[in-house]
Structures are given as structure tokens and as C-alpha cells.
Amino acid sequence: MLASAGDESRFWALLARGRAEDLLELEAEPVQSYAQAEQILTRWTGATTAHRLWLASSRLLTGRRVDTPEESRSRLDSLKRQLAGVDDPLLACDVKESELDILIDIGSLDEAWLVAEDWERCARALNEPFKEAWAISMFGTIASKGHGRSRVDPDEYFARALAVVGERPARTLRNALLYQRADALRLVGRWDEAADHLRASIALGREVGDEAAIAAGSAGLAEILLEQNRPAEALPWIREARAILEPRDGGFRMVNVATLLVWVYTQLKHPELPAAMALARRYDTDTSPGPHRAYLARVLAAAHASTGRFKEAYAELKRAEALDDRRRRFAAEVQNLRLQARYAAAQRDAENADLRHQSETARLALVA
């Protein structure tokens, strides 16, 4: 009995550690933590289906950084099918985070909005204020991309999210909200406000030793400066982000940092442009976040054109178009499948309601 209790405590501790490592955007460490958790499940006779699904949900959160969009969706679909037989509202709510991230990444933003609504509701019902706040912030992220069911200023959602956090310390969450808020404001052209939030995020990252936050904030500032045609000011921020990310092979963010390095070297006519282009290609893989690959292809096209390599520039532009088309098709496919599932569920509900009505009618007839 004591061994089982020890196994369970160790299992949950490993899941918590893996999730903390994921928040810090480490790649190898959470994989190791979850592998150790799986080893416990193989020997622990008291392990249940719910334990295995909690591990699968945790792995899905990390996997979105290293899996292709198709792989992530397949894992999500499998997990949701298994969840149907488990009565665990907290786990069902937990999976919403991965579902939302996957839908945003593939560009299925209307579906993402619906999932964000579900996630906000279940987090509030389960008294999970940090998850509720993050779900609310996702409305701002979606709205900033020009989609969703609201034309409200995206910044209002981040103010709502922070109101939910209240006076709780939650420095890691606050920093994540600062970055997301900045990125949303950047996308709608409010560069000065976005830069202020990024500087605050970098400062908080330095205070708590969160290198991922420092790197993300530095890259975000560089992107704003490049959009303002200030490449010389952007370069030190790109170099800082690269110095943090490259040694730990942070491909999830390095593809964006490498893209920014190509952009800045193109504008500065820097002699290290070819090396930067080679670096960018190294991180241009099927597991890179969807929007970043087409963005990188366009930046590479501009770099080729700046050196008179117009054939290569044209090829990169065509590749960008193909990547955009692939992402749109995938998003449309996902949306169609989800609409079909909702239609089938509505039909089942209507049929069940009709059966209940017939049963009640028959019962009343017998009574009469």
C-alpha cells in the first residue's frame, strides 16, 4: 500500500515538473519527466485510465513544440475519444488548452474561439483562476488576428484576464500575459504600447531568471523595430535572443529568431547574410509553427532578391504561397470535421429527446 502511495505521489510530481519545464520552454527536460512518469505507470498496479490520460494531456502540451500540426491533431483526436469514457471534468478542461493552441497554430480561428469559450467556462466552474485568465487572454490573441466573433479591442481581453489574476503573485503567468498582450498589440499596429509591454516582460524575466521570457521579449522588440525600419537597433535584441535559445536548440522560437536575423542582415546589407540564411533553413522544418514557415520563406525571398538571386527569390515566394495554401486547407478540413461532429451530436440529442418524449407519452397513457 505504501509503495502505491509513493508511486502516485511521484507520478503527480513528475507531471508537475514536466509542465513547469514546458512553461519555461525547455524541450528535452519535459520529455524526460514524462518518460519517468510513464515508467511508474508500467509498474504501479493502482494506475487508472485517468492517470494515463493525464500523462497524455501533459505530453500533448509539450508535443505541440516538436510535432507536426497533423501529428498534434491526431494525438488530440485520440485523447478526446478516450476522454469520452472517463468522468474527470478537470482533465476534460485541461485538454482544452492544447486544443486551443493547435487550432490557433493551424489558423482555424473561429473554432479556436469556440474552444476558448468552453475553456473559460469550465475553468471558472472548476475554480481554476489561472486557466480562466489564460483562456480569456486567448480571445485577445484571436481578435488581434482579425478573426473570431468579436470586433472588440483585443487589449480589453488582456485587462479582463489580469482582473481574474487579481493580487495573486503568479509572476510566470503575468509574464506570459505581458508577452501575449504585446504580440496582439503589435499585430494591430499599436507598436509603442506593445514595446512597453515587451520591455516589462523582459525586466520581469530577468528578475525571476526566466530565460524563455527574456528571449521571447527580445525577439518581439526586434520585430517591432524592424517593422519601424530600425534594423541597427533591432540587431542587439536578436543577438540576445539567439544567445539564449541556440545553445538549447529551442526550435520552437529559434525559427522566428533566425528569420529576424535574415531580415535585419538583409536591411543592413550585412556580410553574414548567407550564414543567417543557412541558420534559418536549419530550423525550417515541418514541426515549426505554421505561420512562421511562410513568413520565413518571404523573408528569404527578400534576402535573395537583395543579392540579385531573383530565380531563388521567386522559388521562395512560391513556397510561401504553397505553405499558406496547405495551412488554409488543413484549417478548412479541421473546421469541416468539427462541424460534422457538432451536427451529429445535435442529431443524437434530438433523437434522444424524441425518445424521452415518446416514453413519457406512453407512460401517461398507461396511467390514464
pTM equals: 0.83
The confidence band for 324, taking pLDDT boundaries of 50, 70 and 90, is confident
Task: Specify the number of domains making up the chain.
Answer: 2
Which of 69, 85, 100 marks a domain boundary?
Answer: 69
Residues 223 and 195: their CA atoms lie apart, in Å, by 10
| Structural domain includes residue 33 | yes
Least confident of 47-56, 225-234, 329-338: 329-338
| Structural domain includes residue 323 | yes
Residues 181, 161: contact at Cβ < 8 Å? no
Summarised one tens digit per residue, pLDDT across range 96-120 is: 999 999 898 888 888 899 999 999 9
**Burial level of 366, CB count in 10 A (0-12/13-18/19+)?**
exposed
Q: Find all residues with CB under 8 Å of 228, minimum gap 6, and list them.
A: 191
| Structural domain includes residue 144 | no
Domain that holds residue 342: 247-368
Residues 261 and 255: their CA atoms lie apart, in Å, by 10
| Structural domain includes residue 88 | no
* Mean predicted lDDT score pLDDT of the chain: 88
| Structural domain includes residue 239 | no
Least confident of 58-67, 123-132, 240-249, 302-311: 58-67
Which of 69, 85, 116 marks a domain boundary?
Answer: 69
Which of 37, 69, 101 marks a domain boundary?
Answer: 69
Least confident of 50-54, 70-74, 111-115, 201-205: 70-74
| Structural domain includes residue 308 | yes
